[in-house]
Structure 1
């Protein structure tokens, strides 16, 4: 269930807040938390919906087992974890996500006084003496991370997550150019394919996330007449987008993509808007560029994800998603900067490394808080560059290898000859004429073979 415009908090109307409802009424604790993460922390509604999808099955599990939500402990959480693993067949990574979200709900309940000394999010020295030795029903472990400007941030999480084996990590696939072309071809063949392939292009060519693509508005695009003056197509146009959580930042879009977007607005999108005006009473066209063909309203993130999953599957691009087109953009940006570095076109500051410079530039372009999170992509680019270099050198090395092999044979023959001469000398010193004769004949045979002559009769 979602709130409507009548939901007013602190004088402001909130439409669409997720709310959990059971047969007997609203689940106040869960619904308060979902409102908190949107209103107080600035989380996107899509995130709150995802949290609600996680929290509701868990609370239903509590109700089935007769366990009140405020009576949950580690043992019960393990029971829930094993149910997901053994009965539902959910993979370890997803289970860990579920456990972390459920823990976040209980942490909030502890911090807001709905629970008291139930969740162990305390440093021992800060606890009252009468609870210092108490075992908390829900345990917690402190974690550390780095925020902006290197500031260390402490937080708490659940210690009940499952270990994820190395073999199950790193399986995400970044589509190459050929695979990306197949995805676009599949999308273009469908109804409203112009819209869908254009959304994929914003991820692939600009590196935008789902929320950022769907936040694009007509008024934020540069004027079509201005864009058409870029005859060479080299201009990157600054365009504001809204990030997940509501913050804004600027992306740089190529001329061809901006023109294609204007074409969509004037053609395919205009047809959608006209149909909605005729079929939906009181319809008002939104500013957002990517709209639903059915409602005429902005597409939501779940719809975009569904469209992408379908087209990726038909194109036979496995272990990838729309977000991996953004990863493709990241790899290409790093590749360009690496090439520029090797060609001398990228200047590196005296107090920074070339790795830091490249990752910082790409992080700024993609809106990443941590440049080092892009390090795996840099490693991928460097590995590819090394393989390419090895391939280009292989042919030129063949000649050198042949020469070295021939030289090795000659050196080996020289060593063998010296050994033979030593044996002959020792045989002469011993006065063994028969042995000396045999060694001389053997030496003659090997010399003739080396010079390509037939064996003596």
Structure 2
């Protein structure tokens, strides 16, 4: 294990906690010595089962960032005060351009660490509320505020302080439109390597259509994607395919992938991904295949969620769109809420129950909070209120036509793939009759496709 000297390092280790193998980070300081209090807190979070791997990773990056700041200013963990925290907050806000909400979230992580460490004897009288009766104020002063805005769980206690930013802007984040998503997909497809473009657009499609989060998408395994025969059956029956994932908070959940996405995934796995694994498996430093669908085409290793965050932010920014990767899931949530609203109106008219709509949408979207879905319900209600009857009929007809086109395109694409695979099997068998018949079938399919194209497109394809 090689650590970078002079700056804090995070190293992920496998620990056995109560008979279960758990991946937890260990924080080392600039002198390559473990920071015991922080590392023990990470181990506590990993073993408690209350924090998922994604949450633990974010917490560890926040504490490493905080440790870097402390070492730069020669401050020990037990010597931190409100003034130190304010300087750290201001550094992130003004130099690193972090949003106020992000700064508050990072402060919340630090507060939770200090409360746990003090309760377990690592520090004494470092953090807590001011004791006005005795006139004592701890170096890190906090307040506990009870709120009714818990995620469907009643009253909730939150930590706040004078260092935390207040009066944050409550303007809702932008939900990308269909036209904006098309522009982002085109931007992703414009990279030099078409194999990388295929991988990236696939990840975006899964987030938009199935509503998967970053780590949920990245943890999809090759053995979870069905073979071609199953995909053909799904096309015939017009069904989706369930894929088990580890969701937010470490919960076992399912996302449902359409036959279109499954066909593209299977094509990517057998083509671009297979060539990367084959190339990286030869030579002196052979690579172990971790079995995940989305891998680096350079190293062959699993991709990180930060990679997709940067990729999405750049694609949206280059197109002048105010959005991030997480807003792709917002499109999914918006669609789910609108569909649930349509179902409710169809069943009960305009006397529907908003709570019923939100509960159904939260269930379909694997969302624990109905409060955060209220914004999407208001959007759907406003859109519907502005629509005339004729506009509504036209929108439904457009949706039906779009679905038919998508189905026809998927069927045609699967037929093309099957004819090509038939020719490949014939070539491997070295049977001249089979090769001739397979080539004739493929040529006939190509000729049929060209006949169905406009004249200009057909000439271009030829």
Which residue matches 1:134? 136
Give the match for residue 172 of structure 1.
173
**Cα offset for 1:140?**
2.0
Deviations 1:232-286 (A, max 9, x none): 5631222211124432101222222222222221222112221121256342322
In the alignment, which residue of structure 1 is the partner of 2:197? 193
Which stretches in structure 2 are left out of the alignment for 5+ residues?
1-8, 393-462
Q: Which residue of 1 aligns with 2:58?
A: 50
In structure 2, the CA distance between the partners of 1:4 and 1:381, relative to structure 1 (3 Å rule), is: closer
Q: Any conservation in 2 of the 1:340–1:346 contact (CA below 8 Å)?
A: no
**Could you tell me whether the CA contact under 8 Å between 1:3 and 1:15 is conserved in 2?**
no
Q: Per-residue displacement from partner, 1:128-162 (whole Å, max 9, x unpaired)?
A: xx996633332222234566763544354444211
How many Å apart are 1:78 and its aligned residue? Answer: 2.9
Contact 2:281–2:287 at 8 Å: present in 1 too? yes
What TM-score, normalized to structure 1? 0.73
Q: How does 1:35-434 map to 2 (within 5 A)?
A: 35-41=43-49, 43-85=51-93, 90-120=98-128, 134-144=136-146, 150-166=153-169, 169-170=170-171, 172-190=173-191, 191=193, 192-231=196-235, 234-279=238-283, 281-314=285-318, 316-344=319-347, 354-389=353-388
Cα distance between partner residues in 1 of 2:336 and 2:255: 13
- 3-state secondary structure, aligned to 2:157: strand
Contact (CA 8 Å) 1:2, 1:15: kept in 2 or not? no
When the two chains are superposed, the root-mean-square deviation of aligned CA atoms in Å is 3.3
Normalising to structure 2: TM-score of the pair? 0.72
Distance 1:298 1:280, change over 3 A: farther
Q: Do the aligned partners of residues 212 and 60 (structure 1) sit closer, same or farther apart at CA in structure 2, a change above 3 Å counting?
A: closer
SS of aligned partner of 1:239: strand
Indicate the structure (1 or 2) with the bigger Cα radius of gyration. Answer: 1
Gaps of 5+ in 1: 125-129, 394-457
Count matched residues: 380
1:370-422 deviation per Cα after TM superposition (whole angstroms, max 9, x unaligned): 122100011111111222239959xxxxxxxxxxxxxxxxxxxxxxxxxxxxx
Q: 1:403: which partner in 2?
A: none
**Deviations for 1:93-134, whole angstroms, at most 9, x for unmatched residues?**
232122212212211212212123332269x8xxxxx99663
Higher mean alpha-carbon deviation, 292-301 vs 4-13, is at 4-13
What is the rounded CA distance, in whole Å, between the counterparts of 1:258 and 1:336 in structure 2? 23
CA distance in 2 between counterparts of 1:300 and 1:4 reads 14
